[in-house]
Structure 1
Amino acid sequence: MSFSYTSVPLYFNHIRILTLSPSESAETRPSCSLEAVDLEEAPAFTALSYAWGDASQRTSIQVNGKDLSITSALALALRHLRLPDRERRLWIDQICINQADDDEKASQVRLMRQIYSEAENTVAWLGEEKDGSDEVMRFIQEAGREGFKIGLRDVPRDDYASLRWHVTAAFSNLDSHDLDVAEGDPLGKKKTDLCKLIDSRYSEQWDDMLDHLYLLFARPYFRRGWIKQEVVIPRTLILQCGRQTVGGDEFVSFVRLDSFISEAKRQQWTARITRMQQEDREALIKGKLDAAGARTRSERLSATVAKAQVINSAQFNERFGLGQTVGIRSRYHMGGHWQEEMTLAFMLKTFASDLEFTDPRDRIFGLLGMASDTSAIQIQVDYTIPWQEVYADAIKRIIHAGYVDILYDIYSAPSPPTSLPSWCPDLNIAKAGIIKKYTFLSSHPFSAGGPPLPSHRVPSAQQFSSPPTLLIRGFQVDTVLTTIPLWTPDSSGSYFADNLTSLKSVLTKLYDLSKLSRSQFSSSSHNLPPSILPSRRAAAAAAADENSALRTAILDHESVSPSSSGGRKRRATVPRMHAAIADLARGIPQLHGAELRDYLNQAQVLQYLAPWFGQRGFIGLGPRETKAGDVVVVFYGGSVPFVLRPDGAKGGPTWRVVGEGYCDGIMDREGVGWGEERVFTLV
């Protein structure tokens, strides 16, 4: 007979606990009992975090003497988790929740945070032993223990960035990794200890383990969306692969250490490849490279390049998502303001679509257990609501709670009118916003809309209509008159061919528009009403600046150091921009100038955002779909402007969101107070 969940009913705040019977044989079919208990009075139990596996591959276990169908992947986990001589209490979602009952599933999802918090420990099951996993698990435990000793488990975000930049600088030099630490640097000892640890035997062992690490972190477990909260919330975390285990503290410390070693290796291999190529050129010029020597050098270079390609591969870099997860785990358990900052918006922009969920609604529901504002925004877990409405409701609640920037933190291509409202990103495919990507870690972030509005000035949320609408307060900056095509590749697919002819064309046209802008502002600013003249003049002065075209092309941002374009950003400086453009004008084919390289890295935003010129004389960037007649607006509390399009399908004054944008001269709240304030109805 088949097991029926009605035989073990659930009441308010109750969960089911599975008691797994002991067995000395791994081949014996798992057998267990299931009982309902009040969560606040539950006996000690272990929660299981795992990948469900292929839903079509199933087997049965005995539950209360009757058959229950589960996935084969879970059955394998049970065989490894059961003890030979005593029972083991477990909470496993696939067994303890009636997956066929949406109401029960919703009520249990609401308890997830409490379940993983109350569990004595949580076992993260990675799968069976294969691909050298026993050896790599032992390596993770040992290296993680050393990382824990130097304090890598709990590293705040800013400290992590500082440590990473130190590693980057130290290991870009092949001859010595000793880098002086500034006197009084609070991270000085940790920086020194970290470089010594990387330089120790773990560096060589990491090389030997690289392929095995790659295979372990490529397992389905690490792509599963639900593991985020299942790794973050538990007090005690244990990772198990086959019979090998790694403690949670050691694992978190290893993931941090792994990211630093990866960066060190990336710098070393880049420097090594550059040196090998230089040595080969010199040997060839001097006639010291015979056929055998050339073959040996070529093989050595190919092996080094292969290693570098592995570490730069997309699948390897997915481990950065794991790094974000363990970072959030540290913040969660630090408590205080660290935990308070972990809002649902923070979770969505951190993970975007880099999660795998069987049910798309879980892209919201699966993060609520970690979010600090779950109670405040009051999202109801309901699996009877279509996923489109779940997304729109969540985004609307986040905005009405005062976080407008969710609209630019994450981005997805425009959806068909029947799918999602234009203002709601599709979380199934959403990525980090374009402007966010190119101004990440800015020392002077944008603040076009100023601080968030007080709650009494935020338009009230509306119930769902068809399509759902969003009311948001802001002001119009300009109306688009014309646009410039994007920076496009040549026929071979290269953006940098023909001495950057395509980019030069975009910059030339943008400069022509900036001259029109200066002319228009100089002739119109004296007609402005006295009441708005000061703030309007501030915007006009910025927009009339002769460097506005150069600034706009790079979102007014450059790297703090021109030789490290992947690090912190700051507002663009005139000397660096002029040096870059001078090199560009000279047509240096190998791009020797660091300023030009950095400028080109930033200017790649022109491959995604199109320059525009407005009726009032402003210039800026907008989505590639931007066209004449679109309006540029700023929402109060928002960091950047948005391009909106009148919605011709509606009888009233409604707007569709085209996307985020940049408008030179108003990015630092210069426009607040002079634009015509209104409530925009977005559909």
Structure 2
Amino acid sequence: MSTTNLTTSGDSQSDSLYAPLRDDRDEVRVLTLEGIHDDGLVHSRLETVSLLDYSPNYSAFLTSSTGKTELPRRILRSWTGLCFPQTGHNPAGSKNRWKQRPHAASCRFAWGDFAALSYVWGTSNKERYIVVNGITRRVTRNLEEALRRLARNDEFRGEYKIWIDAVCINQEDEQERAIQVRKMRQIYSSAWKVISWLGENDAGGWMPKAFAFSNMLASLQDDSQDLRMLCNVKSGILTDAGFHAMHEMTRHLYWHRLWIIQEVVMGASYTVLRCGDHHLDWDTLCRAIAVLYHGDNWSLKDEMLGRAYRRGISTHKVWTTSSLHLIHLDLRHLSHYEDEGTSTERLGLRRLLEVANSAKCLEARDKVFALAGMMEPEIANEITKAYSLDIPQLFAAVTLAFIKHYNNLEPLRQGNPWGPQKAPTWAADWSWKGRLRWSRPETPYVGPLWDVSDPGPRPEEIYNADGGQPACYMIPDNSLLLRCDGFIFDEIVGLGAREYGIFEWVKGTETQCSSWKSCYGDDQETAQALARLLLGGSTVGEHEQAKGCYEAVLSLPSTFKAGYPQFCAKKWSWLENREGYYYKWSEWRKRHNHMMLGKRRLESFFTDNIPEMTEESAYTAAFVGIDRTVKERRFMLTRSGRFGWAPDNAFDRDGDKNQVRVGDLIVIVFGCSTPLVIRRFGEQYQVLGEAYVEGIMNGETLGLLKNGSFKQQSFIFC
């Protein structure tokens, strides 16, 4: 889906194609492909149908034990199980669902049935023509190629139709587009299948090779998923060309289009990737990518792509992994929910913002609406009503919808004044580029310790800085202001270097504080507090394999050069292969070693020598925990003698202008589990984002509030 207008020829005839749709009848338009005629063009017929117009057999089925309250994908699976018993309830048969085509007896509607197309629109300077109800229309090249391929194979004739956003929605009717946006989840979740069109075969023929390589990876069981071992046992089964092919597939423009996320998830196991006449079902792709996350396979994939680069096969030395993370961490779990209706929850606000940041769309508002299907239904319904609002108001409405639904102020953690759309600072700007994956305390670890499919705790369950006090807030006079209660706890008096991109910290951006004195106790107690800070005080210590990780932080070598001989001597193979990923820790240390914590330099709290009788699991946990914690955060010192993390703005190129400053305040807001950094702005305050302050993340300050050390007040955030 896109809200960009479709250019047509014969605009004066568009009314004959697009009679108004009746929303009360759940009307949509579907396309029948009539083939390629003598003029060389794809001819089609567009008709209006109702999604409530069930066939007698399907209507009887819905009133039976299945019921209408189940998820659409579960209903369809039960229905196809009756119509196609050889694959309908067989999990292994899901890979053949793309072959199923509804026949007269299995059609769910009186008018037939339909599939939905998911594709990249492409650029308007490469337009082609199709014929719809006798009218010649311009469409993008990518869509024309898809329709030509489908028409050539006679896949959507007769009772089997196809829904395509660019043709089935009147793109010139803003009201209709708004209504159809609300229907996107329903359309894709109700489709007989979702065709993810990746284009015709690429010049190198890598896409079909990637499909074959994915099928091979997905077939591996248990121990055979150790790809290094597999290479030794079965020489030639894994090739650098195969890894290059998969890399090319996941780099495809398709995965960088935000609207596909909702479309693929709603299709779930009824989604099939298609390149020309080559097919790969969604379940197979997910299983194949999951293998890359197994054990040391993550490092092996880099090595194999490096080989392909040296042989001149690949133009890339290292993997572009954003699509891998998108599929494995987000789409796989959400599509499983659509299939099974398990206890998996919808994505929270932070995860949605990360996903929005991982792909592109033509309009800033689409950052929200392209993901509406991923939200809790009550939130999605509230948000889609705000379709016509301007962008700042829209972003404020989205944040407020999350606040009201969960009755807490957790969304304020995602606010800041640095977004390009100039939304209120308390409202998340969905177009801000500063959010990074693997930077949240709730993010599962990437490594050999735990299954990354573990969703982990909810963000608000990790910290409890507000002591569980209920949120108290209001929106004054329907304005873009937010009033809420809390108290000022501390003030920033020193800052570490600010991050620049994801690879370095800017030299000379530190601010020392000569008067700072640790409130944690002596040097040993301060060192222990520093170790907790570097892991964000996370729950990692609850994992049996990660015991000792806090102590390990203080002796984790500051550079890979210093650590490698020790890793080899101890036969810690996973850490031996971290050279390409060690930069976060080594660069952070490099820029902060000279920071003064009282009378001692920060580096004096650490050693590069790993003690004897230590466990690799503790150091692995420390390594991946630090790598996560230092992203998107800036080291800070506070007036009360504490240290912590302030929000960073790593992708801003305007010097220190759009950054946290000395003098910014640290506040506890009731209903928000972490402190916030705020800044006075006249009589009001700006929200700069969430903070972590070591030693106050579990409600310790509430006692000080009760004894009068702090004063409760109302803040007006602008």
Change (3 A) 1:374 1:127: farther
Partner of 1:380: 384
Out of 623, 635, 646, the residue aligned to residue 622 of structure 1 is 646
Alpha-carbon distance in structure 2 between the residues aligned to 1:558 and 1:58: 52
Is residue 255 from structure 1 mapped to residue 289 from structure 2 by the alignment?
A: yes
Aligned mates of 2:534, 2:696 — CA distance in 1: 16
Specify the alignment match of 2:208 in structure 1. Answer: 135
In structure 2, distance between residues paired with 1:56 and 1:464: 43
Alignment correspondent of 1:655: 685
- Residues 578/602 of structure 1: CA separation in 2 closer, same or farther (3 Å cut): same
Alignment partners' CA distance in 2, 1:217 and 1:106: 31
Q: CA deviation at 1:31?
A: 0.9
Q: Out of 30, 35, 39, which is 1:17 matched to? A: 30
List aligned pairs for 1:419-434, cutoff 5 A.
419-432=422-435
> How many Å separate the matches in 2 of 1:579 and 1:255?
31
1:146 aligns with 2:223: no
AA aligned to 1:399 is I
Q: Does 1:218 align with 2:251?
A: yes
Task: Name the SS of the counterpart of 1:432 in structure 2.
Answer: coil
SS at match of 1:107: helix
Q: Aligned match of 2:674 in 625, 633, 640?
A: 640
Q: Does 1:333 align with 2:339?
A: yes
Whether 1:546 and 2:526 are equivalent positions in the alignment is yes
Q: 1:322 matched to which residue of 2?
A: 327
CA–CA separation in structure 1 for the residues paired with 2:235 and 2:392? 47
Q: Please, which moves more after superposition, 34-43 or 1-10?
A: 1-10
- Counterpart secondary structure, 1:199: helix
Say if 1:357 and 1:337 are closer, same or farther in 2 by CA, change over 3 A: same
Q: In the alignment, residue 491 of structure 2 is paired with which amino acid?
A: T
Which amino acid counterpart does residue 116 of structure 2 have in structure 1? A
Aligned-pair CA distance for 1:572: 6.2
Task: Give the CA deviation at 1:126.
Answer: 0.5
Structure 1 residue 682 corresponds to structure 2 residue 696: no
- Cα separation, 1, equivalents of 2:51 and 2:624: 57
Q: Which residue of 1 aligns with 2:463?
A: 447
The one of 223, 230, 242 equivalent to 1:199 is 230
> What is the identity, as a one-letter code, of the residue corresponding to 1:123?
I
Contact between 1:656 and 1:682, CA under 8 Å: does it hold in 2?
yes
Identify unmatched segments of 5+ residues in structure 2. Answer: 1-9, 54-108, 446-455, 563-592, 594-602, 649-658, 706-710
Return the match for 2:188 from 87, 103, 116. 116
Q: Distance in 2 between matches of 1:576 and 1:311?
A: 31
CA distance change for structure 1 residues 578 and 120 in 2, over 3 Å: closer, same or farther?
A: closer
SS in 2 for 1:36: strand
**How far is 1:411 from its partner?**
6.8
**Partner SS for 2:145:** helix
- In structure 2, how many angstroms separate the alpha carbons of the residues matched to 1:238 and 1:645? 50
In terms of mean alpha carbon deviation, does 376-385 or 569-578 score higher?
A: 569-578
Q: Distance in 2 between matches of 1:460 and 1:635?
A: 13
Kindly report which structure 2 residues correspond to 1:493-572, keeping only aligned pairs within 5 A, or say none: 513-515=516-518, 517=519, 545-547=525-527, 550-551=530-531, 554=534, 556-557=536-537
Tell me which amino acid in the other structure corresponds to 2:638.
F
SS of 2:701's partner is: coil
**How far apart are residue 307 of structure 1 and its match?**
10
State the one-letter code of the partner of 2:714. Answer: V
Q: For the residues of structure 2 that align with 1:318 and 1:211, how far apart are their CA atoms? A: 14
Q: Are 2:169 and 2:177, in contact at CA under 8 Å, matched by a contact in 1? A: yes
Kindly indicate whether residue 262 of structure 2 is the aligned counterpart of residue 229 of structure 1: yes
Q: Residue 99 in 1 paired to residue 202 in 2?
A: no
Cα offset, 1:36, TM superposition: 1.0
Alpha-carbon distance in structure 1 between the residues aligned to 2:117 and 2:235: 31
From the superposition, tell whether residues 433 and 544 of structure 1 become closer, same or farther in structure 2 (CA, over 3 Å).
Answer: farther
2:297 to 260, 264, 271: 264
- Offset at residue 606 of structure 1 (A): 9.1
Identify which of 468, 473, 477 aligns with 1:459.
473
Matched to 1:483, the amino acid is G
Following superposition, the deviation at residue 14 of structure 1 comes to 0.8
How many Å apart are 1:441 and its aligned residue? 3.8
What is the CA-CA distance between 1:543 and the residue it aligns to? 13
Going from structure 1 to structure 2, the CA distance change for 1:110 and 1:377 (only over 3 Å counts) comes to closer
CA distance in structure 1 between the partners assigned to 2:274 and 2:691 by the alignment: 46
Amino acid at match of 2:465: G
Aligned to 2:636: 611
Contact conserved, 1:134 with 1:242, CA < 8 A, in 2?
no
**1:59 and 2:128 matched:** yes
Match of 1:672 in 2: 702
SS at match of 1:479: strand
Structure 2 residue matching 1:397: 3-state secondary structure: helix
Shift of 1:81: 1.1
CA contact (8 A) 1:484 1:610 kept: yes
Residue 351 in structure 1 maps to residue 355 in structure 2: yes
- Distance, in Å, in 2 between the alignment partners of 1:488 and 1:348 is 23
Q: Is the 8 A contact 1:548 1:664 kept in 2?
A: no
Q: Structure 1 CA distance, aligned partners of 2:179 and 2:352?
A: 22
- Aligned with residue 406 of structure 1, among 399, 408, 411: 411
Q: CA RMSD in A?
A: 4.5
The two structures have a TM-score, normalised by structure 2, of 0.67
CA deviation digits over 1:361-397, x for unaligned, max 9? 1111111123234457621345432222211210122
Evaluate the alpha carbon distance shift between residue 302 and residue 610 of structure 1 in structure 2; reply closer, same or farther with a 3 A threshold: same
Q: Distance in 1 between matches of 2:548 and 2:415?
A: 23
**Deviates most, 328-337 or 386-395:** 328-337
Residues 397-426 of structure 1: CA deviation (Å, up to 9, x unaligned): 212333533343x5767247x822122232
**Cα shift at 1:120:** 1.1
- Cα pair distance change 1:197/1:411, threshold 3 Å: farther
**Residue type matched to 2:409 in 1?**
V
The one-letter amino acid of 2:177's match is K
- Work out the CA distance in 2 between the residues paired with 1:488 and 1:120: 47
Contact kept? 1:45, 1:91, Cα under 8 Å: yes
The SS at the match of 2:374 is coil
Q: Would the aligned equivalents of 2:37 and 2:43 in 1 still touch at CA under 8 Å?
A: no
Does the Cα contact within 8 Å between 1:441 and 1:568 map onto a contact in 2?
A: no
Instruction: Find the counterpart in structure 2 of residue 486 from structure 1.
Output: 497
Distance 1:542 1:586 in 2: 14
Q: Look up the match of 1:573.
A: 550
Residues matched between the structures, number: 559
Q: Any idea what the Cα deviations from partners look like across 1:25-56, whole Å, max 9, x if unmatched? A: 8x820111111111222430111000000023
Q: Deviations over 1:335-369 (max 9, x none)?
A: 1321xx10452651451411211121111111112
CA distance in 2 between partners of 1:511 and 1:596 (Å): 33
Change (3 A) 1:372 1:307: farther
Partner SS for 1:369: helix
Q: Does 1:90 pair with 2:101? A: no
Cα contact 1:97–1:105 (8 A) shared by 2: yes
Contact 1:232 1:332 in 2 (8 A): yes
Supply the distance in 2 between the matched residues of 1:411 and 1:568 (Cα, whole angstroms): 35
Q: Which of 381, 397, 403 in structure 1 is aligned with 2:401?
A: 397
1:165 paired residue number: none
Whole-Å separation in 2 of the counterparts to 1:54 and 1:569: 50
CA 1:370–1:574 in 2, change beyond 3 Å: closer, same or farther? closer
Amino acid at match of 2:527: N
Distance 2:142 2:428 in 1: 33
- When normalised by structure 1's length, the TM-score is 0.70
